[in-house]
Amino acid sequence: MGFYQRLIPKQSCILCMEQAKFCVCEACEAEFSNQQNRCQSCAYPINGNLDFCGQCLNHSPVFNRAYTLYDYQDLVAQLIKSFKYSQQLCIGDYFAHKLADKYQLLQDYDAIIPMPLSCQRIRERGFNQVLELLSVIKKKPQVIVDTHSIKRIKATQSLESLNPEQRQKEVKGAFYADLISYQRVLLVDDVMTTGASLNELAKTVIKAGAKTCDVLTLSRAKF
C-alpha cells in the first residue's frame, strides 16, 4: 500500500472527499435543499400558502398525493446522475436509507410499485435504479414490493427534451398490468419532472384494480 493510499480514510464523501460516515458527509447533506411548501397533489414547489399548483387546479393527476425528499438541483442532481449513469451503488444505498426514513412517516400501503423500466433501459444501465432505491424499505416487515404486475410495453424515448404535452403523448400506453388486488398503492420513482410517466402508471394501476395511488420520489424537478 502506497503512502497516499494509507492517508485516504476508508469512507470518504463522494462530493467533497472529506471523511464521512456514509458516502455523503453531513456538511454536504446540509446543503441539499427541499422546498417547504409543495403542491399537495404533485409536490411541485410553490410559494406562499397555496395548497395546489396551477396545473393541478386545472387538471389534477390520477394519483392522490406526491411526496418527495429533495429539490432536483445542485448536489442532489449531481448525486442522482452519478448513481444512475456511473453505477455508484453506494449512492443508491445512501438514498435508499433516506427513502426508508421518509416511508416510515407515511401511512401504510398494501403494495409498493416501482416505476418499471424497459428491458432495453435495464440492459443499457446494468441495473434498475428504482429497485436499488427500495432496497432498505423492502426489508421492512409487511412491505410488498411488486415488480411483476406492471410491465413497460413501450420503450419511451428520453422525455428530457419534450414539453408537457409531448411527454403525455409519449408515455400513453407505456404500461401493461395484470389484475391486482391491492387497494392502496405507493408508486416510487427516482426523479419526477412533469409527472407524466407517474400519472400514466397511476392510471394503469387503478385500471388494474387499485383504489388509490400515492407517489414517492427521491427528487422533484421544476420544469
Q: Which residues bind Zn ion (CB under 5 A)?
A: 13, 15-16, 25, 28, 39, 41-42, 44, 53, 56
Q: For Zn ion, which is the closer residue by CB, 176 or 223?
A: 223
HEC profile of 88-137: CHHHHHHHHHHHHHHHHHCCCCCEEEECCCCHHHHHHHCCCHHHHHCCCH
Q: For Zn ion, which is the closer residue by CB, 27 or 106?
A: 27
Minimal distance, residue 42 CB to Zn ion, in Å: 3
User: Grid coordinates standing for 213?
Assistant: 395511488
Minimal distance, residue 220 CB to Zn ion, in Å: 10
Q: For Zn ion, which is the closer residue by CB, 15 or 171?
A: 15
Cβ–Cβ under 8 Å, residues 22 and 30: no
**Helix (H) and strand (E) counts for the chain?**
9, 6
Q: How far apart are CA 174 and CA 33, in angstroms?
A: 32
Q: For Zn ion, which is the closer residue by CB, 15 or 210?
A: 15
User: Grid coordinates standing for 147?
Assistant: 415488480
Minimal distance, residue 31 CB to Zn ion, in Å: 9
DSSP 8-state assignment for residue 158: P
Cβ–Cβ under 8 Å, residues 188 and 114: yes
Q: For Zn ion, which is the closer residue by CB, 37 or 183?
A: 37
Minimal distance, residue 115 CB to Zn ion, in Å: 19
Cβ–Cβ under 8 Å, residues 13 and 20: yes
**Beta-bridge partner residues of 71:** 220
Minimal distance, residue 66 CB to Zn ion, in Å: 8
Q: For Zn ion, which is the closer residue by CB, 149 or 212?
A: 212
Minimal distance, residue 113 CB to Zn ion, in Å: 21
